[in-house]
Amino acid sequence: MIVCEHVSCTYGNAPVLSDVYFNINRGEFVGIVGPSGSGKTTLIKAIIGAQPVAHGSITIASQLTIGYVPQVETVDWYFPVTVEEVIVMTRAKTKLWPRITSQERTEVREVLEKLGIADVAHRHIRELSGGQQQRVFLARAMFCQPDILVLDEPTSGVDVRTRHEILHLLADLHQDGLTILLTTHDLNGLAAHLPRLVCLNKTVIADGNPREVLTSKVLEATYGAPMEVLEHGGMPLVVDHGRVAMRGEGK
């Protein structure tokens, strides 16, 4: 449903992505991994149409609705809006009347219930926990009944429990037939659990299931640092070698 061919993006004169080939089919659950500055967010923004493509093309199936969940860190949490107002925002294009209709209220309630946060509709966005914040923006993306959900770093800055919750929630949505694309820097906590991974550093270095992709060779090429992959409970576990000798260590 999304095909990227020969995609390059630049910021000024600096290339951020070059010659990216990559596609997503309906029903897939894909994670993009790579170091900071590798172009993960840029690729996602190019796909949703918020970043111009310098070369190449991104073909998106017609009538495709994309639900986008931005990085939690980029949200202005002091902005004066309630959860309900945030979720209804996605209808901005079609609705002229400012007031939220009772029909919309019911729909907001339904989507919040589905995500297990039915009681927060009238709260200000500042008054939410980390997991709730992530779910509210997930709810906003779900509100327009998307064909594909695109999430930028859904687990950055959240604790272990919240990360599990988000992962389970996404797995459930995927189970229900939703296509999901996300970026992450969390190799063990998130990426290793996904059915398909794309390693990105300016260009696609590897693409496949975690068992094929999470190898020392691929990871070293992606991160430019030595990494080792162990096996733990039937899952690949990435360990980096960035060992620094601290003063007083071992005493």
Partner 1 sequence: MIIALDIFEPYGFQFFRNGLVVATIAGALCGLLGVFVILRGMSYIGHGLSHAVFGGAAASAVIKVNYFLGAGIWGVVSGLLIARVARRRVIGADAAIGVVTTASFALGLALMNRYGQASKSIEAVLFGSVLGVKVADIYAVALVALLGLAVVILGYRKLLFSTFDRDVAQVSNVRVSLVEAVLLAMISLTILVTMRVIGTLLISALLVIPAASARMTTNSFSRLLWISPIIGAVTCFVGMNLSYHLDTSASATIILLDAFVFVVVYAIAGTRNRAKMASLGHL
The residue ranges that bind partner 1 (CB under 8 A) are 12, 45, 48-50, 66, 68, 70, 75-82, 85-86, 88-93, 95-96, 98, 124, 126, 140, 144
Cα dihedral across residues 52, 57, 63, 67: positive or negative: negative
Closer Cβ to partner 1, 68 or 223, answer by number: 68
Measured at the CA of 64, the angle between CA 200 and CA 137, to 5 degrees, comes to: 70
Query: Which structure tokens are listed for 79?
Result: 């902005």
Nearer to partner 1, 145 or 209 (CB): 145
CB of 249 to partner 1, least distance (A): 40
Q: In the beta sheet, which residues pair with residue 25?
A: none
Q: Quick one: 107 or 220, whose CB is closer to partner 1? A: 107
By beta-carbon proximity to partner 1, the closer residue of 76 and 176 is 76
- Cβ–Cβ < 8 Å for 67, 144: yes
State the minimum distance, in angstroms, from the CB of residue 203 to partner 1.
24
CB half-sphere exposure, 193, CA atoms < 13 A: 14
**Nearest residue to 54 (alpha-carbon basis) of 100, 97, 14:** 14
Query: How buried is residue 107: exposed, middle or buried, by Cβ count under 10 Å (0-12/13-18/19+)?
Result: middle
Looking at the DSSP assignment, which residues form a beta bridge with residue 8?
Answer: 55
Nearer to partner 1, 80 or 234 (CB): 80
Rounded CA gap, 194 and 82, in Å? 33
Report in angstroms how near the CB of residue 27 gets to partner 1 at its nearest: 22
- Least distance (Å) between residue 140 CB and partner 1: 8
Give least dist CB 231 to partner 1, A. 40
| Cα–Cα distance, 61 to 1 (Å, whole number) | 5
Identify the bridge partners of residue 229 per DSSP, sorted by sequence position. Answer: 238
Closer Cβ to partner 1, 3 or 75, answer by number: 75
144 vs 167, beta carbon nearer partner 1: 144
**Residue 143: CB minimum distance to partner 1, A:** 10
Smallest distance, Å, CB 95 to partner 1?
A: 6
Neighbours of 129 (CB within 10 A): 13
3-state helix, strand, coil in the chain (%, to 5): 35, 30, 35
